[in-house]
A and B are shown apart, each in its own frame.
Chain A
């Protein structure tokens, strides 16, 4: 890839996407696929052909549009007209939309807006509801707007401009500095400053050096990384390339869990296309920088999201964490210096380099910069994938974006951070969402799971649910986690079934603290968090079960 070529292919890509008078953006993410978007897209295609407008209308199979509780979704954008979002579409409805919306809208004069007929308006979701208007999209800027399987769509929206800037105008040190300035912190859960991670990895010497993209998202109910990989894979590749340039790596690995076949497929296609276009390979943009990457599949062990376990897994060894030091930045994959970054973290990188670290740092709170993607689920009207600026309060997220409780009952708490996190009771809903505030309340930001609980949810059950998960997912290496997780689960089950005693409660507390202090890796150290935080705020619910 030479510079002159780059500008040409970008122009061509832009022209290609502008060639259509109407674009139908159909959500084709895992969530919508399972609610039947495949049949919808097929029906749309057939209807377009039968109405003879398939040449002027483009179907764009996109990544997640966010409002997963209302899928399958389709956004209609006719040139010069206001976009319309349809929800919960079935094939029959899709045919009606083509016949009664697209066909007449295409023949409207310029400047006139199309009025959706009454019988279809029940499927229309206003695009100005808080679910959309309160969000701020950086990582998900392209998701829902491009076909993730076409590199041209990415290029047409400014893709690889950041890489070009980095390779042609910046030194690796400057890139690291820019990311440090941005204040970006690791989005996988640890929250370690990304710039610092790169700064540590940059001077490490080795015959090879690796960038690894951690796509082993494992929290129950969380699908932020999956959505980014499915919706905008090129952006993650670009982020990886920039990271590689900054730390001096020549190859990279995507570690994606095998339960994400669609994400794997799209990343595979994206890598092939990026390679063909010359963004991966030798002498990228005619510079001395060369880089390529490949995919390794995780076999479904939660612990492989821990970076040392992840590295062991890529090497073909049993995925168990090893004590640090040595850190991966010193001795990682195959003993070589390695830098492991989460999917969402890398997806932020091109934007930071394009618009500057200072711009990114202007968003969010002083210790948590930028935006964060959450999987908002549970007892809210609008559940799905959202991206909000750091510092937004839990209340805004739940009551405005989420549309309040879906059951009509009072919201009791919100669970954040997945199995490593905790519950935050409703009296703290005005807390701004950022790393330190959530930690102060006994929970964590984690990777972005956010489950809203109402009065019907019992906290002992919630704690037992998460312990069941972590006890099962313990790699078994260290005794505090391997045996402690199981014993803690047994004690919780005992309390849950009403057979527990006050001694059991004391033992639950002692055991939770022991696991926190003595477990080898983050999984075990944080496994008791759901117990500790429910005890902190809802001990009465434990006591009730014990008394009865």
Chain B
């Protein structure tokens, strides 16, 4: 890439052509304050905090959306610039409720941090806070428009990254607000991915908080509380406790859950191994004897399922009918495990700790989510809610025992189970086992590295025992559309499907970048979280789901054959076309 020379505060630096001033300034060791810009998203220039002076330009410009050019001379800080920034900040604060102490983002709010750094000590302007009620109709995400600073991140992510278009700007001037047009969020095309809440700098969009439900259950002596943790949670939770992103804290989480009072601790990774048994069987079956039902499309992601039901229901026939891993753990807990231990399943409170806001919706999505005869998973908490519970519990996270084990058998997982949390992981885990189902022997190498990475769409043709398997992985719903349209075009033109197997995760990076994860994520952090999962995989003696002895035992004792009658009853679900939404 071509580089240009420029001066930032009289320091000469080199930067890539096209790079914005905000990033380039870091090379001169200058931090330009900014509020609306998020590294994942293109600049909107909404907040007006990152203004800088350019030599020769009459007006100040925004560092976030002004590209550097040869010979440019930038001044990032002088009394006038700081004064303007301060006034802008005071304006933003005048339209934002002064409710920091009772806000969910107290301590993590980007506006609060700026107000602190700028030492705002007075309210120069009269408050002009809008009076708009919150919207919790999705039961996954709560919209609090009063707190919104109109940075536009949620809208950019909803429209451009996810192509859902549930949120948009309405009205104008001071009445501008973010909302679904004319309906509640629950009635809108929202797929509850929570990326809006993940990207919100303040407390305007927030996970639907259910921690009180869990506290109440834990203090109820009648209930037998059991928790499970999703793969992606273990590598992100540490960010809230001072660990570098990607640090694997599985043991500490198990320990923390026991401290909180859960009577048993399971791992969603075990459910992932079961999912693989079913999904790889489905794949092997379709690949060998029902090619018209290819490509097989993964369905572990409830936002993707919702998206497909709303926008692409002509793809239902390609969907894997297998439930997601935590649903499977929920069902098996209230059937297999309860029977084994002689616990009354109606007394079990199953809590899933998930990186995801959409799992809150998934647990009641269809009748199949009650396969045990009751609701299989009772509560799905996001990573962020779980962190708050830990903070309230008095547990010193750093002192927890990293060697703590989960309960058997639903806590025993293979390396394949853990990589479910990252984009490409489900595909890789499935290919490991599908190789066995198709060829009768395990793959020579368990690493299917060609399908790893963070590019939005990745394709690779794998050779398995004389067969060619065309795979594709997409994450971020906007990218999914590209794959879907290729599949649809081939079908309409009567051509063979371009792929045999497609993996889809709604969130950028997959569950490691999930809508319920720790805030302030970017691709560098996603990469580290993914690496945390791959390194856990490498450390496992067993890295193939079908070689997990507890999985083998589960099928022997309870499920019978993959895709068999019992497996169908407990592990599979169905999909339906939902009303078409116009985007």
Contacts and interface: CB of A to CB of B under 8 A. Distances in A.
Contacts of B65: 323
Nearest to A301: B172
Chain B CB count within 10 A is highest, among A511, A516, A518, for A518
Contacts of B149: 479
Interface in B150-193: 150, 152, 168-169, 171-176
A501 interface: no
B62 A520 contact: yes
A392 interface: no
Chain B CB count within 10 A is highest, among A483, A486, A490, A507, for A483
B112 interface: no
Interface stretch (B46-54, B302-310, B463-471, B534-542): B46-54
B87 interface: yes
Interface in A207-260: none
Contacts of A519: 48
A478 B92 CA distance: 10
B150 A479 contact: yes
Contact of A486 (B87, B168, B174): B174
A514 B125 CA distance: 14
Interface string A459-493: 00000000000011111111110111111001000
A471 B176 CA distance: 12
Nearest to A518: B48
Nearest to A318: B169
Interface residues on A, range: 35 or more
Given A476-B150, A513-B84, A518-B48, A483 B95 contact: yes
B124 interface: yes
Nearest to B81: A517
Nearest to B175: A476
Contacts of A476: 150, 169, 171-176
Contacts of B84: 513-514, 517-518
B67 A477 contact: no
Chain B CB count within 10 A is highest, among A303, A474, A476, for A476
B169 A520 contact: no
A482 B168 contact: no
Contacts of A478: 45-48
A510 interface: yes
A520 B59 contact: no
A484 B91 CA distance: 6
B174 A483 contact: yes
A484 B174 CA distance: 9
A325 interface: yes
Contact of B124 (A507, A513, A517, A525): A507
Contacts of A487: 91, 94, 125-126, 128
Q: Is the interface of A mostly helix, strand, loop or mixed?
A: helix
A320 B67 CA distance: 21
Interface string B73-100: 0000000100111011001101100000
B67 A511 contact: no
B66 interface: yes
Interface in A303-326: 303, 318, 320, 322-323, 325
Given A479-B149, A482-B150, A514 B88 contact: yes
A525 B173 CA distance: 15
B226 interface: no
A483 B59 contact: no
A244 B175 CA distance: 39
A325 B66 CA distance: 7
B173 A485 contact: yes
A482 B174 contact: yes
A513 B60 CA distance: 11
A517 B94 contact: no
B108 interface: no
Contacts of A525: 59
B91 A520 contact: no
Nearest to B44: A477
A480 B66 contact: no
Contact of B173 (A472, A490, A514): A472
A510 B83 CA distance: 9
A493 to B, nearest CB: 11
A514 B62 contact: no
A215 to B, nearest CB: 21
A220 to B, nearest CB: 16
A77 B149 CA distance: 63
Nearest to A489: B174
Contacts of A301: 172
A312 B128 CA distance: 29
Contacts of A325: 66-67
B43 interface: yes
B176 A482 contact: yes
Nearest to A525: B59
Contacts of B176: 475-477, 482
A517 B51 contact: yes
Contact of A323 (B45, B60, B91, B125): B45
A513 B79 CA distance: 14
B204 to A, nearest CB: 14
Given A483-B92, A484-B91, A486-B128, A520 B172 contact: no
Given A517-B60, A520-B46, 9 more contacts: A301-B172, A322-B44, A471-B173, A471-B174, A474-B174, A475-B172, A476-B175, A486-B174, A518-B48
21 contacts: A325-B66, A476-B150, A477-B150, A477-B169, A478-B45, A478-B47, A478-B48, A479-B46, A479-B48, A482-B95, A483-B92, A484-B88, A486-B173, A487-B94, A507-B125, A513-B84, A517-B84, A518-B85, A518-B88, A520-B45, A525-B59
What are the 10 A-B residue pairs with the smallest beta carbon separation, nearest first?
Answer: A476-B176, A323-B65, A514-B87, A518-B48, A483-B91, A486-B174, A323-B45, A474-B173, A480-B48, A476-B172
